[in-house]
Chain A
C-alpha cells in the first residue's frame, strides 16, 4: 500500500540518494512522487546521457503485474499490439485504447516468464484493467511501490554495468531483458529507455535500491556518471522522437472535452495496431477510422532558427492547420525540433509549413513566422542504440 495518509508527497526508494545529489533543489510531482527536475544543470545532465551515462529514477512509473493462464489472452484484448509475438524475455512498446479507439495510455509490456507480464504505464488505470479482466483467469496487481527502477542511459552505460560485474550484459539486445544476481537477490535489466541512446532500465526490490545506486555510482565514477532530472529527460526524448502521455496526447480517460483524445493513427502509432489478432479494445472504431480516415496527423517538424516553437500554431499559408505539442532545440542533432498535431490532410514528409513562434527577452516579446519542414522521425538515432553486442565507450 502507498501511505498517502502519512505524507503529502511519496518518496521513491532512491529518495535519499536523489536528495543528496539534488544540489539546486528543484522537485517535480510525478504521479504523487517527489522527483528531481534537475540536480545541477539541465544541459550538463543532458550531455551526460549523450556523452557518458545519466541515471534517472523511474520508480514512480505505474507498474502492473499480470499472472495466470489467461494473462496473454487478456493483454491481447487490452493492448493494440499482438502480444503473442512478444516472446518471453522481450519487451514491447504499445498503446491501449478504449472502445472508441482513443488512446488511453502508452507504455511498455514486459514478458517476464510464462504467463507472467508487467505493464509500465503513465497513468493509473487499475479500474479499467479490472473491468477488462471479466471472463479471464488472470490476477492483476499494482506493483508500482513494490519495484524500484532506474534508467541508466548513455554510451558508457554498458561498460559501467560490466564494471559492476554484470557479465554478458553487452549481448542483451534492444527490447530484451535479463537478470543478474545482486546482493543475495537479483536485479532485472532490460535494454529499454526513453532517451534514444544505448541504455538500460533496472528493476529491483526497493530494499536493495540504495545499495544498487551506490554500487552503480561507484562503478561509474570514472565514466562521469551523473543523475539526471525530468527536464533533461524531456530534451532527450524530444531529440529521440518519443511522445509523452499527458503532453503530446491526452489519455482518453483524462480528456474532459469531446474530441480532445487521439487514436493511435492520429499519433503516428498505427504500426502498433494489429488487426490480425482476435478482438481487442478499439478494434472496431480503428478499423472504421482506417477506412474512413483520421481527423489528425502527428508530425515531426524541423523548424527554422533556434527558437523552440513551444505552444505554436502551425499554418499552411494563412490557414491554421495545427498546433505544437512539444518543442526543443536538440543540441546533439543541432536541430530545432517540434512535435505537432495537424489536420489529417497535412503533414506528408517534406511538406513545408509555418510556425508562429512567440518568445520573450527581457520583457520584450517577439513574433517569428518560422518555416518548418515535416521530417520522417527522430533527429537523433545513432547506431550504438541498436548495436549488439553493445560497444564499449
Chain B
C-alpha cells in the first residue's frame, strides 16, 4: 500500500527477493521504505504459480541451494513461515539404460563408476570448496574497486590476496589456471565417467549462454558451489514452491515497516538532470523519494525506467554491451500420477534428475543456440517437487518442473505458438526416453521460453542471473564499471538486483550488500 503522506526515504522498484531483502535492511536502519512490484506476487524469480487448474509449480527458480544463511537469519525467514519440504537432495545423472549415476555429497554410486573416479571426486570437491570459500569472502560485501584507494575495498582485496596465498602454492596456481579455462578441460583432467563429467558441466553453465567448452564455465561452477559454503549440501525443495520464499521475505519486510504495493508497475524513474526524485507509476501517479533502488535488471533499469537519453553516453554504451540473453526455458507438467523413470525408485524420483549423458551432448545442444535455434536434444534439470510437498497438486497427482537448456532468447524468427509447441513436444519426447509412461500421465503442460520469462518476470533477455555470470561481468565489472558498488551515475539511484555483485540465484547477497552500501553512504547517497 502506498501512503503518500509518508514521504518515503527510499522507493524500491521491484519486489523480487533482493528488493525485499534490501528494503528490510533499509527499514531496519530507520528509513521509510516503499516497495513497488508490477506482479501480484512477491519474490521475483523466486515464484510459485498455478499453471493449470489446481496445479502449481515454482515457475522460475526451482531449487533453493544458495540462500545466504546470514540473510535468512536476519530476515527471520523461519519465523515468517519458510519451510523446506526436503533438503540436501542427491543429484542423479540419468542413463537411458537405467544405470544412473547418483551423486550424494562426496559419494558416487552406479553408472559403473570406478574407484579412481570416486577418489578423484572427493579431492576435486575439497579443492573446489576451498576456492568457493575464498571467493565467498568477497561475496557478502561490495565488490572492491581496484584503482581507488578506499580502505574498505583495500581490506576486501587484501583478504582475497591473502586467502589466495594461504591456499598454498599448488592450489593457488591451480586456481589461477582453472579460473580462466573451461569446465570441459577440467573434467577431462579429473574424471573418466561420462555421466559425472556431464553432470558437473551442466551445473557450471545452467542458466547461461555457454557450453562446456566455453571459457568462464569453471567460474560458473565455483559460483554454483557457493551454496555449499552457505550450508547446503545439494538442492532443497521449498514447501509451497519457491514463491514461499518470496512470501516469507515480504512478511519480514512488512514486519520491519516496509510498505509494499503489488500489481503496480513503475513506468519511469524520475530524474531532475542527474538526481532521482522518485518514480512515475503506470497509472500516472508520481511518488517522490530521495533514493530509488532498482531491483530490476540493469538493462530494464536504464533502457526503460531511466531512459538511455537521460544518462551519459559511456554509461549507455555499457548498459547496451552487457551480455544478458537467457538460454534456458522452463517446462511445467501436470501429471495424473507419478511416471516411472527406468531404474529409479519413487524416493529417487524426488531427487534432482539430470538429462545430460555426456559433455559432448551438452556442447551439441549449445551449438544450436549459438545460431539462433533451440536444441533438438536439450540438456535438462528435472524436479518433481510433489514427492516432497503435496500442496502443489491435488491428492495423488504430481507436477514436474524442468529447466531446459538451451532455448535462445533470440530464436531465429522469434518464438511463436507453433515453434513453442514443437519445442515442448521435443522436450517431452526426450524426457520420455527415460520415463516411457510419461506422456500417458500428462494432464497439462506449459513452456516458458526466455521471452516468456522476460515478460512474466520483467527481466530483459529472460536471463535469470540478470546478466551472464562470467569473468568480464563479475566483481567491479558487475553489472558494468561505474555501477559496481550499487550506486550509479545518477545520484540517488541504486541497483540491488541479481545484475549486481555477487550475482543471481536465490542467494540474497545483492540485496543485502546494496542496503549496507546505502546505509554506509548515509546522507551523501
Alpha-carbon separation in the docked complex, A78 to B314 (Å) = 11
Alpha-carbon separation in the docked complex, A135 to B307 (Å) = 7
B273 touches A99 (CB 8 A): no
Alpha-carbon separation in the docked complex, A284 to B487 (Å) = 14
| Cross-chain pairs A/B with CB under 8 angstroms, 24 sampled | A73-B309, A77-B309, A77-B313, A98-B313, A99-B313, A99-B314, A99-B482, A99-B489, A100-B314, A131-B313, A131-B317, A131-B320, A132-B313, A134-B308, A134-B316, A135-B303, A135-B307, A135-B308, A136-B309, A279-B310, A281-B312, A281-B313, A283-B312, A284-B274
User: Does B442 interact with chain A (Cβ within 8 Å)?
Assistant: no
**Residues of B288-315 contacting chain A, CB below 8 A:** 303, 307-315
A283 touches B316 (CB 8 A): no
B320 touches A134 (CB 8 A): yes
Q: A278-B310, A283-B312 are in contact. List 15 more A-B contacts (CB 8 A).
A: A77-B312, A98-B313, A98-B314, A99-B313, A99-B482, A132-B316, A134-B308, A134-B309, A134-B316, A135-B307, A135-B309, A135-B316, A279-B310, A282-B312, A284-B274
Which B residues are in CB contact (< 8 Å) with A282?
A: 312
Which B residues are in CB contact (< 8 Å) with A78?
A: 313
A128 touches B313 (CB 8 A): yes
Residue-wise, chain A 56-100 has the 8 Å CB interface mask toward B (1 for contact) of 000000000000001001100110000000000000000000111
Residue-wise, chain B 118-153 has the 8 Å CB interface mask toward A (1 for contact) of 000000000000000000000000000000000000
A284 touches B489 (CB 8 A): yes
Closest CB in chain A relative to B524 CB, distance in Å: 13
Which B residues are in CB contact (< 8 Å) with A279?
A: 271, 273-274, 310-312
**Residues of A268-317 contacting chain B, CB below 8 A:** 278-284
Alpha-carbon separation in the docked complex, A281 to B314 (Å) = 8
A-B pairs, 5 with minimum CB distance: A99-B314, A135-B308, A135-B309, A132-B313, A134-B308
Alpha-carbon separation in the docked complex, A74 to B307 (Å) = 13
Alpha-carbon separation in the docked complex, A136 to B489 (Å) = 20
Residue-wise, chain B 318-334 has the 8 Å CB interface mask toward A (1 for contact) of 00100000000000000
Alpha-carbon separation in the docked complex, A211 to B269 (Å) = 56
Which A residues are in CB contact (< 8 Å) with B309?
A: 70, 73-74, 77, 134-136
B315 touches A99 (CB 8 A): yes
Alpha-carbon separation in the docked complex, A132 to B313 (Å) = 5
Which B residues are in CB contact (< 8 Å) with A100?
A: 314
Residue-wise, chain A 310-341 has the 8 Å CB interface mask toward B (1 for contact) of 00000000000000000000000000000000
Alpha-carbon separation in the docked complex, A134 to B307 (Å) = 9
Which A residues are in CB contact (< 8 Å) with B320?
A: 131, 134
Alpha-carbon separation in the docked complex, A280 to B273 (Å) = 9
Q: Which of B271, B309, B313, B316 has the most C-beta atoms of chain A within 10 angstroms of its own C-beta?
A: B313
Alpha-carbon separation in the docked complex, A283 to B314 (Å) = 12
Alpha-carbon separation in the docked complex, A170 to B172 (Å) = 77
Alpha-carbon separation in the docked complex, A278 to B271 (Å) = 10
Residue-wise, chain A 125-138 has the 8 Å CB interface mask toward B (1 for contact) of 00010011011100
B residues with CB within 8 A of A: 271, 273-274, 303, 307-317, 320, 482, 489
Alpha-carbon separation in the docked complex, A89 to B271 (Å) = 33
A131 touches B316 (CB 8 A): yes
Which A residues are in CB contact (< 8 Å) with B489?
A: 99, 284
Alpha-carbon separation in the docked complex, A128 to B320 (Å) = 13
Alpha-carbon separation in the docked complex, A283 to B308 (Å) = 15
Residue of A nearest to B317 (CB): A131
Which B residues are in CB contact (< 8 Å) with A135?
A: 303, 307-309, 316
Closest CB in chain B relative to A99 CB, distance in Å: 3
Contact status of A283 and B274, CB under 8 A, knowing A131-B313, A132-B316, A134-B320: yes
Which B residues are in CB contact (< 8 Å) with A70?
A: 309
Alpha-carbon separation in the docked complex, A163 to B307 (Å) = 53
A99 touches B308 (CB 8 A): no
Alpha-carbon separation in the docked complex, A17 to B329 (Å) = 66
Which A residues are in CB contact (< 8 Å) with B314?
A: 98-100, 281
Alpha-carbon separation in the docked complex, A135 to B313 (Å) = 11
Closest CB in chain A relative to B83 CB, distance in Å: 46
Which B residues are in CB contact (< 8 Å) with A77?
A: 309, 312-313
Closest CB in chain A relative to B414 CB, distance in Å: 22
Closest CB in chain B relative to A351 CB, distance in Å: 34
Residue of A nearest to B314 (CB): A99
Alpha-carbon separation in the docked complex, A307 to B317 (Å) = 48
Closest CB in chain B relative to A73 CB, distance in Å: 7
Alpha-carbon separation in the docked complex, A205 to B463 (Å) = 50
Contact status of A99 and B312, CB under 8 A, knowing A131-B320, A278-B273, A284-B489: yes
Alpha-carbon separation in the docked complex, A147 to B184 (Å) = 56
Q: Which of B273, B309, B482, B489 has the most C-beta atoms of chain A within 10 angstroms of its own C-beta?
A: B309
Residue of B nearest to A285 (CB): B312
Which A residues are in CB contact (< 8 Å) with B310?
A: 278-279
Closest CB in chain B relative to A352 CB, distance in Å: 38
Alpha-carbon separation in the docked complex, A279 to B310 (Å) = 6
Q: Which of B310, B311, B482 has the most C-beta atoms of chain A within 10 angstroms of its own C-beta?
A: B311
Alpha-carbon separation in the docked complex, A77 to B309 (Å) = 8
Which B residues are in CB contact (< 8 Å) with A128?
A: 313
Alpha-carbon separation in the docked complex, A279 to B316 (Å) = 13
Which A residues are in CB contact (< 8 Å) with B274?
A: 279, 283-284
Residue of B nearest to A275 (CB): B273
Which A residues are in CB contact (< 8 Å) with B317?
A: 131, 134
Alpha-carbon separation in the docked complex, A279 to B315 (Å) = 12
Residue of B nearest to A100 (CB): B314
Alpha-carbon separation in the docked complex, A128 to B482 (Å) = 18
Residue-wise, chain A 90-114 has the 8 Å CB interface mask toward B (1 for contact) of 0000000011100000000000000
Which B residues are in CB contact (< 8 Å) with A99?
A: 312-315, 482, 489
Residue of A nearest to B321 (CB): A131
Which A residues are in CB contact (< 8 Å) with B313?
A: 77-78, 98-99, 128, 131-132, 281
Alpha-carbon separation in the docked complex, A77 to B313 (Å) = 8
Alpha-carbon separation in the docked complex, A136 to B310 (Å) = 10
Alpha-carbon separation in the docked complex, A74 to B316 (Å) = 13
Which A residues are in CB contact (< 8 Å) with B482?
A: 99
Alpha-carbon separation in the docked complex, A282 to B312 (Å) = 7
Which B residues are in CB contact (< 8 Å) with A280?
A: 312
**Residues of A116-164 contacting chain B, CB below 8 A:** 128, 131-132, 134-136
Alpha-carbon separation in the docked complex, A106 to B315 (Å) = 22
Residue of B nearest to A258 (CB): B147
Which A residues are in CB contact (< 8 Å) with B315?
A: 99
Closest CB in chain B relative to A277 CB, distance in Å: 8
Which B residues are in CB contact (< 8 Å) with A278?
A: 273, 310
Residue of A nearest to B315 (CB): A99
Alpha-carbon separation in the docked complex, A70 to B309 (Å) = 10
Residue of A nearest to B310 (CB): A279
Residue of A nearest to B307 (CB): A135
Residue of B nearest to A128 (CB): B313
Alpha-carbon separation in the docked complex, A281 to B309 (Å) = 11
Alpha-carbon separation in the docked complex, A134 to B308 (Å) = 6
Alpha-carbon separation in the docked complex, A100 to B481 (Å) = 13
Closest CB in chain B relative to A1 CB, distance in Å: 26
Residue of B nearest to A99 (CB): B314
Closest CB in chain A relative to B262 CB, distance in Å: 29
Which B residues are in CB contact (< 8 Å) with A283?
A: 273-274, 312
Closest CB in chain B relative to A34 CB, distance in Å: 33
Closest CB in chain B relative to A69 CB, distance in Å: 12
Which B residues are in CB contact (< 8 Å) with A281?
A: 312-314
Closest CB in chain A relative to B42 CB, distance in Å: 31
Alpha-carbon separation in the docked complex, A73 to B307 (Å) = 13
